[in-house]
Amino acid sequence: MPGRKWYAIALLILVVGGVAAAGMVLLGLSGLTRELPQILVPGDATLTVNRPGTYTIFFERETVVNGQIYSTTGDLSSLRVRVISSSGAPISLSEPAVGTTYSIGGRSGVAVLACDLSQPGTYALEAGYADGRREPRGVLAIGLGVGARIATTILAAFALGGGAALAALVVAAVTFRQRRRAARLTPA
């Protein structure tokens, strides 16, 4: 007859799998925000693109830039954003294909624009109000593949946690079955 320790092993598998899945999400997503350069707007920034692709521009409602906390409650809808290639050609901006949001490590953002930066190089991002005003201030962040990375990290964590739960269930079920069979075969 298998000992009750196998139930403890099943529980251990479940706990370790859950902790590993949570760690995967925490580590995978905490590094994500470090890869999202921030631009205080109205203002401009130079973007160096090493990997071509469709970049997403996020509006960060809650964030920290250079030790300063920004909590933007004002309306930035009249903010005009432009991305310009090193040759001076404007890059067309569109709505993002996926409505990505994040809230990680004191930063909370929502996808507002997307642009195809198909060539490595330097690009200028300019954001301002048509009337030249400087308020309200806000923060934009830009990144490549953010939504896919969030989804991949979460799906991998679910797979790890689900696999651990399934393994724990199998160990517990087999232990229960074998203990029950052994109890029936043992004379009273």
Residues 12 and 129: their CA atoms lie apart, in Å, by: 57
* 26, 104, 144, 160 alpha-carbon torsion, rounded to 10°: 30
Residues 17 and 30: their CA atoms lie apart, in Å, by: 20
Per-residue pLDDT, 19: 92
Per-residue pLDDT, 164: 92
Residue with tokens 């409602």: 61
**Residue 126 to residues 63, 70, 91: CA-CA distances in angstroms?**
20, 19, 12
Better-predicted residue by pLDDT, 156 or 64: 156
Nearest to 144 by CA among 108, 104, 96: 96
Model confidence at 1, pLDDT cuts 50, 70, 90, reads low
With H, G, I as helix, E, B as strand and everything else as coil, classify residue 135. Answer: coil
The chain-wide mean pLDDT, for the chain, equals 85
Helix (H) or strand (E) holding 28: helix 5-34
pLDDT in tens, 125-163: 999 888 888 878 888 888 887 777 777 888 889 999 999
Per-residue pLDDT, 75: 66
**Of the given ranges (5-9, 116-120, 149-153, 174-178), which has the lowest mean pLDDT?**
149-153
Residue 118: HSE in the Cβ half-sphere, 13 Å Cα cutoff: 5
In the chain, pLDDT over 90 holds for what percent of residues? 21
